[in-house]
Amino acid sequence: MAHWREEYLTALAVRDQREKANLTIYDAYTRLADSTAKLPAAIDTSAIPSGSKGPTRTNQSEKTAFSQSKTAKKQPTEVESSTAELLNTTRAELAEAQRSRSELRDRLEKATSEAANLRKQIGGDGQRINRLESEVAQQKKRRKDVEEELRGKAKLLNEFQDEIAALTLQVNMAERKAKKLGEENEDLVNRWMKRMGQEADAMNDASKFS
């Protein structure tokens, strides 16, 4: 019984581990979404020139135009660098997310297969446990019947032993009585034989004198 419970707890632990492992891919996709959301904002921010508030005077307009021309020269390089860095980071995070997803998919398939095998094994163990419990119940009933039968036989044996003891006592008394009667009978026979001998001797003596 303890065996299938341990396997059931192991299946639960595998499920918890699988759910915890999914947190990695969730975090990766969250970082990817954040990076993707930052990409348009970075491009828009880099595209806005620093002197775009609008001139109020002629000299300011000239300075602004000169500043814009310098910014325009620097702008493509800065935007491309920022965009390339962001894209590289995004690609790396996407590759990591895909790798994590593939790894988690393999773990999920393995855990699902193990869980299915455990469910089948637990189901088989459950049927076996039910069968064993039924056999145990039958054995208990049979043992109870045997114990009752033994108690009945023990009672009969005690009664039989009591009867044997009583009969043995009666036999002993009868033997003693028979022995006593035999002794008395033998004594009577001896006395009768002795008397008959005396009478025969007397008759013989009487016949001599006649």
pLDDT digit string, tens, across residues 50-76: 444 444 444 454 445 445 444 444 445
Tell me which of 12 and 3 has the higher pLDDT: 12
What mean pLDDT comes out for the span 80-101? Answer: 75
Q: To the nearest 10°, report the CA torsion of 81, 85, 91, 97.
A: -160
Interhelix angle 58-208/2-47, nearest 10 degrees: 180
Rounded to 5°, the CA angle 121-124-130 comes to: 140
CA–CA distance, 110 with 14 (Å, rounded to integer): 10
pLDDT at 80 over 80: no
The closest alpha carbon to 95, from 27, 36, 28, belongs to 28
C-beta of residue 50 within 8 angstroms of C-beta of residue 67: yes
C-beta of residue 64 within 8 angstroms of C-beta of residue 51: yes
What mean pLDDT comes out for the span 105-127? Answer: 80
The mean predicted confidence, pLDDT, of the chain is 73
Side chain identity, residue 105? R
Give pLDDT, residue 181.
92
Specify the range with the lowest mean pLDDT, choosing from 77-86, 160-169, 176-185: 77-86
CA–CA distance, 195 with 206 (Å, rounded to integer): 16
Binning pLDDT at 50, 70 and 90, where does residue 92 land? confident
C-beta of residue 61 within 8 angstroms of C-beta of residue 3: no
Where in the chain does DSSP place strands (E)? none
Specify the range with the lowest mean pLDDT, choosing from 42-46, 95-99, 117-121: 42-46
b/e per residue 52-72 (b: at least 16 CB within 10 A): eeeeeeeeeeeebeeeeeeee
Tell me which of 40 and 203 has the higher pLDDT: 203
Percent of the chain with pLDDT strictly greater than 70: 60
Residues with Cβ within 8 Å of 72's Cβ and at least 6 positions away in sequence, in order, are: 49
C-beta of residue 122 within 8 angstroms of C-beta of residue 10: no
- List C-alpha distances in Å: 53 to 56, 64, 68, 84, 85: 10, 9, 12, 29, 29
Tell me which of 104 and 140 has the higher pLDDT: 140
